[in-house]
Amino acid sequence: MRALLASAAILAMLSLSQHAMAQTVSFQNESSFIDETRVMHVYGEVRNDSDTALGDILITASFYDANGTLLSQYQQPPKIRVINPGEAAPFDMRYLDPATIDSVADYTLEATGAPADAKEEELTIVSSNSRLDVQGVYYINVRARNDGSQDATNPIAVATLYDRDGRVVALGEALAEGEDRIVNMVPGQEAGFGILVTERLQTYKAVRYSVVADSDQYVSERAEFEAAGLGAGSGTTPTNGTQSGCLIATAAFGSELAPQVQALKGFRDDVALKTMAGSSFMSVFNSAYYSFSPQVADYEREQPWLKGIVRVSIYPLLGILDLSTAVHDALAFNGEAAVVGAGVTASALIGLLYFAPLTAVLAVAGRKKQWDTGKVKYALAVAWAASLSAIFAGEMAANTEALMFGTALLVLSAIATVIAAVMRAVR
């Protein structure tokens, strides 16, 4: 009987402890996606809403099907060891069963933990720079300093990437490095952290990121930075952040605040990036653009004649984007159809304005050569059908890769169609 009463008391205490924990933490900035290996990730942050530091935190994610049946549960600690009052720590909960992943319709999050000694904020984020390469890997370099009186053992830097809506879209972490080895940080010492975020289907969504340095003894304040454009990393401090932008246009007009540059960025931010299809195409476009634009922009700044050529070439583009925006607004009843219509309009006009003159010259020069226009028409028809089919399938399945392929092929198909039409007309 005593054993039964003791068991009941223990269960009651556990229930009260779990209830109390539920009242002291909250979850925020959640997002989820399925990666290329068919693993589902639930990202977010767990916030300590109590007035006591919490440690030994364990998050439980429960996944359910459309009927509310529990499919599986997984447990992970957050990325920060102790969460001070009012602070938050990022987490990455994973659903690992590819056979049932398509049945997941909902999930819940719970956390358990225990009171802990608060950590002093004696680690300082000194600087950070970042870049996103053409493969979609996000590189973040961080330097931190130990301003405490004790050694900071097992120091680690955790980076959290956020999208335009403030949701967590990817995480990365790295141990401190010094002289090609992992180090602890003695008082006054600085150390570097090389963080790699490899979720390439997520990294392009990042518009800002935060960094927290953590160790057994100390933690840092959260430092916020703007996310860098693809391949366009630059050194920063926590107050300045890194910038992503239209590098070649900025070099031509002398400032990122120039109206022409702002117009280009406005089309990107207010039209293209507002939809899945537009964001997917921008990922493909940026992969190519930022692979060469930093070098071109650097050379352009030293060559006044090149600046003039770029300015002249950009003014017609601004008119094209204005017209494409009007098409987008006319189709605004469906955001995805609107961005596709705007993309086709812009691509066709770009093909007509920038490629047609050279096409006409080549057509005149090669008039005597026989061209099989039937094969060209067939190839274009196949390309249009494939691009539209990929976009439709990508939209239905929320498949980023299909959308990236479809939107890129659609743009190329529109440009190629204009080129073929001009060549036929001239010949």
Q: In order of start, what are the domains of the chain with their CATH numbers?
A: 24-115 (2.60.40.3230), 120-236 (2.60.40.10), 247-426 (no CATH)
CA dihedral 296, 297, 303, 309 (to 10 degrees): 80
Please answer whether residues 167 and 43 qualify as being in contact, where contact means their C-beta atoms are separated by less than 8 angstroms. yes
Helix, strand, coil % over all residues of the chain, rounded to 5: 45, 30, 25
3-class DSSP state for residue 103?
A: helix
Task: State the residue for tokens 């099989």.
Answer: 372
Q: Which of 92, 93, 112, 91 is nearest to 23 (CA)?
A: 112
Beta carbons of 62 and 141 less than 8 angstroms apart: no
Q: Which of 158, 288, 282 is nearest to 213 (CA)?
A: 158
Instruction: Name, in order, each residue with C-beta under 8 angstroms of 182's C-beta and a sequence gap of 6 or more.
Output: 175, 176
Q: What tens-digit pLDDT sequence spans the chain (427 residues)?
A: 555 544 544 444 444 444 445 568 899 999 998 887 889 999 999 999 999 999 999 999 999 999 999 999 999 999 999 999 999 999 999 999 988 988 999 999 999 989 999 999 999 999 998 887 656 788 999 999 999 999 999 999 999 999 888 999 999 999 988 655 667 899 999 999 999 998 877 887 888 999 999 999 999 999 999 887 543 333 333 333 333 457 788 788 876 667 887 788 788 878 887 777 887 788 778 777 766 777 787 788 888 888 889 988 998 998 999 999 999 899 888 888 888 998 999 988 998 888 878 777 776 666 656 666 667 888 889 999 999 998 888 888 878 788 889 888 999 998 989 888 888 777 6
Q: Are 363 and 423 in contact (CB under 8 A)?
A: yes
At 358, which helix (H) or strand (E)? helix 356-365
The pLDDT, as a whole number, for residue 240 is: 33
The Cα–Cα gap between 279 and 31 comes to: 17
Give dist(CA 122, CA 140) in Å, integer.
22
DSSP state of 230: B
For residue 329, the surrounding DSSP H or E stretch is: helix 304-330
Predicted pLDDT of residue 242: 34
**Residue 22 confidence (pLDDT):** 54
The per-residue DSSP string of 344-356 comes to HHHHHHHIIIIIH
Q: What is the pTM of this model?
A: 0.55
SS3 state of residue 297: helix
The encoded tokens of residue 267 equal 């089309």
Give the model's pLDDT for residue 21: 55
Q: Which two tokens stand for residue 197?
A: 């975020």
* Cα–Cα distances in angstroms (integers) from residue 281 to residues 340, 391, 393, 404, 409, in the given order: 10, 10, 15, 5, 10
Distance of CA 166 to the CA centre of its chain: 11
What pLDDT, on a 0 to 100 scale, did the predictor assign at position 425?
79
> Are the C-beta atoms of 237 and 220 separated by less than 8 Å?
no
